[in-house]
Amino acid sequence: MPKSVFSRKRSSTSDDAILKAHAVGEVGSGEPALVLLHGFGADQAIWRRLTHRFAETRRVILYDQMGCGASDLAHYDPERYRTLEGYADDLVEILDALRLRDATVVAHSVGGMIALLASLRTDRIARLAMIGASPRYLNDGAYEGGFELQDVEDFLGMMELDFQGWAKTLAPQVMDQPDRPELVEELVYSFSRANADLSRRFAKATFMSDHRARLGECALPTLLLQTRVDAVVPLTAARFLADHMPNARLEILDARGHYPQLSAPDAVFAAVETFLAETTG
């Protein structure tokens, strides 16, 4: 029996309604299918530089996390999305609705932990590729997550007081591409067009999360991609992730910033393709 029976599926919601609620889209064909999962502050458009390249040889599925992009906010449940578990349930439901098997999930940022949690409750996921993922963003004793609690509280406070100002301030820091202003502007647009209240809730669920204790439960082949310099996820957190997942491999990209799928798509594409060649028949 699939592990997905343990997910907290929304009652009386059809498969078609689930797919519509998350604006699920597909391009390409070929198995195993590839699911591209965005992180905080973005939607499925964040993959635009890679989607059609992957779709040349395989079926590619994209969707918007609830509260982001074109997702249907009528389905937003504050209690369900108080933690990342609710977002993981969404991924399981989407995989079930599409009847996917042997799927690869390529997940960015907090999408990495969402994908990991989902993989622990379904047998539809066969491998993971995480880009800029972290099991915990807060420093905790010897563990270096990159942020102090006050940093996150200030971050959340700025989102509440001046959401547009927050977007314009954060984007250049996390993109870290001073010579490519067009990428910064793209990220500002991605941040600022989101629902301010729901973005803040997603941010809280993200930056207050701690999934270090779950890492050892995931034995799936996992590729961890990390840039040399990332304002969101330090190398210490990426190495912790690699050290505590039984079947994970860390690859450091010769790139900067938290969004290499935009700033270094060739490097991301090559790394994921190599990983897929190694782990699929």
pLDDT of residue 7: 43
pLDDT band at 2 (very low <50, low <70, confident <90, very high): very low
pLDDT band at 132 (very low <50, low <70, confident <90, very high): very high
Considering the chain, what is the average pLDDT of its residues?
A: 94
- Burial level of 133, CB count in 10 A (0-12/13-18/19+)? buried
What is the identity of the amino acid at 153? Answer: E
pLDDT (tens digit per residue) in 137-159: 999 999 999 999 999 999 999 99
∠208-214-215 over CA atoms, to 5°? 105
pLDDT (tens digit per residue) in 185-198: 999 999 999 999 99
H helix intervals, the chain: 15-21, 51-54, 84-98, 111-119, 149-161, 163-175, 181-192, 196-207, 235-244, 260-263, 265-279
- Residue 108: pLDDT over 90: yes
Beta-bridge partners for 226: 252
Higher pLDDT, 7 or 120: 120
pLDDT of residue 236: 97
State the angle between helix axes of 149-161 and 196-207 in degrees (0 to 180), rounded to the nearest 10: 180
CA distances from 236 to 39, 57, 135, 171 (A): 20, 35, 11, 23
Q: For residue 115, what are the domain limits?
A: 3-279
Global pTM?
0.95
pLDDT band at 10 (very low <50, low <70, confident <90, very high): low
SS3 for 65? coil
User: CA 75, 76, 82, 88 torsion: positive or negative?
Assistant: positive
The strands making up 248-256's β-sheet, listed across from edge to edge, are: 25-27, 60-62, 34-37, 103-108, 125-131, 222-229, 248-256
pLDDT of residue 23: 98
Q: Considering only CA atoms, give the Rg of the chain.
A: 17
- Residue 274: pLDDT over 90: yes
- Residue 50: pLDDT over 60: yes
Helices (H) and strands (E) in the chain, counts: 11, 7
Using the CB atoms, write b or e for 219-251: b if 16+ within 10 Å. ebbbbbbbbeebbbbbbebbebbbeebeebebb
CA distance 213 to 157: 29
What is the identity of the amino acid at 28? Answer: G
- Residue 117: pLDDT over 80: yes
Question: Would you give the distance in Å from CA 68 to the centre of its chain?
Answer: 12
CA distance 133 to 248: 12
> What's the CATH code of the domain at 264?
3.40.50.1820
Number of domains in the chain: 1
Q: What residues are labeled active site?
A: 109, 230, 258
pLDDT of residue 9: 53
Strand-pair category, 25-27 with 60-62: antiparallel
